């Protein structure tokens, strides 16, 4: 398995409704999707979305910039191998 790990900066007006109603449904329909987690602390967001293969994760990673709302700034976007899980 491989994960797409994304770090963003959120504006003061970032609406979590957009995340729940638009981003999460789109991501969960991507090929090889296993699980996803989106977190927030103050104006920083970190997500980790796990896919069955590196190919699936890479494809999803390429789509990340086009899925971000205007009030969210992409800081990093990388694919990592999942070496353990519980």
**30-73: pLDDT as tens digits:** 999 999 999 999 999 999 999 999 999 999 999 999 999 888 99
DSSP letter, residue 18:
H
The token pair that represents 82 in the structure block = 């999942």
Select 2-81's CATH number: 3.30.70.100, 1.20.1280.50, 3.40.718.10, 3.40.50.10280. 3.30.70.100
Q: In what order do the strands lie in the sheet with 33-41?
A: 33-41, 44-51, 2-10, 72-81
The token pair that represents 5 in the structure block = 């790990």
Please state the domain extents for the chain: 2-81
Distance CA 41, CA 36 (A): 17
pTM over 0.85: yes
């Amino acid at each position: 398995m491989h994960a797409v790990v994304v770090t963003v900066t959120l504006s003061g007006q970032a609406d979590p409704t957009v995340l729940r109603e638009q981003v999460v449904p789109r991501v969960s329909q991507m090929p090889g999707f296993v699980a996803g987690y989106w977190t927030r602390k103050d104006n920083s967001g970190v997500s980790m979305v796990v896919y069955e293969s590196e190919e699936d994760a890479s494809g999803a990673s390429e789509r990340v910039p086009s899925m971000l709302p205007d009030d969210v700034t992409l800081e990093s976007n990388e694919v990592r191998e999942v070496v353990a899980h519980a």
